[in-house]
Amino acid sequence: MSKIARHAYLIVLYLVCVIGITPQQAFAQDIPLKVYLGGYPICMEMYSDGPIVTEVNESLAGKEGVKVGDVIKSINDYVVESRSDVYSYLQNEAVSYPLNMTVLRNDRLQKINIVPPRDVCSGKAVLGFSMKDGLSGIGTMTCYTDDGIFYALGHSVRDVDSTSAFDCRDGKIYDCVLCGNCLPKKNVPGKLIGKSSGEATGYISANARFGLSGRMLSEKKGTYYETANRTVIRPGKATLVTTINNEPEFFDIEIVKTSLQCTPSEKGMVIRIVDEKLISATKGILQGMSGSPILQNGRLVGALTHVFTNDSIYGYGVYIDWILGE
């Protein structure tokens, strides 16, 4: 690096560290931020900001009633965060009927009124629907910083039972031991199979557009890698860091296409798996690999996000700019 280039770099680095310009501004100038590389699977346990309706009694069905996928926010102006809050409130003998409920449906708050059905034997009012407090699953750690902030998955988590985006109240991540996988079939993606191991290794603070973030609890350290600006990424040879046998491995891929994105957006890259070892073991990309780091020219450029359902050799990637800049 020339003396002029070095001075320019130090000035820009000063702006980032001392004055506090945003990561996106830093990326626009291709400042090589450094992070610890992930590539290993994690188990996640997330709690929604309000219980999610999973099943509804026929007597409550109808256009104006509670529906599967509703997220309950309040009952008679009593704010609820979990199933236990709902049950505790209904134990109060002073509860008035019908129940005036606020629910999140299709990402919008909506008021509904329901009259709970009566138990055939006792004659007492029963809730009339089933709920859950959150979800769990497997994903891949992308990277984490010196101060213990982690980034994983590369895309937001959405609950298949809910009609709205999953509003994460809080959650935990755990080390994951892989037990095997389900290979993809025609138009059906395959998936990693694993289980959590030990105590929580981190707390989830956000389920954002480009993945999960939170704070690590353990001192687990990977290898330091510099990040790369999206403007320097080119179609061609690259590397996917992911785990199929409980240790991260480096697999050859090709970046088939890059999209010019001036504002944060998903699917910045199309990638193709070319590594015969990975293809032989998994037939390509499996669910649970989301968040696997993508490297090019020795720098972290993004993360795997989605697999093509009709061809598991291909998938999408998101630029590291957007992951760290959200």
Residues catalogued as catalytic: 155, 275, 290
**What is d(CA 83, CA 172) in angstroms, rounded to the nearest whole number?**
19
User: Which residues pair with residue 225 across a beta bridge?
Assistant: 35
Q: Quote the CA–CA distance of 202 and 23 in Å, as a whole number.
A: 23
Beta carbons within 10 angstroms of residue 290's beta carbon = 28
Query: In the structure encoding, which two tokens stand for residue 170, read together?
Result: 């809080």
Convert 93-127 to b/e letters by CB count within 10 Å (16 or more is b): eeeeeebebbbbbeeeeeebebebeeeeeeeeeeb
The single-letter DSSP state of residue 16 is I
194 sits in which H/E element: strand 191-208
SS3 292: coil
Closest among 140, 142, 145 to 33, alpha carbons compared: 145
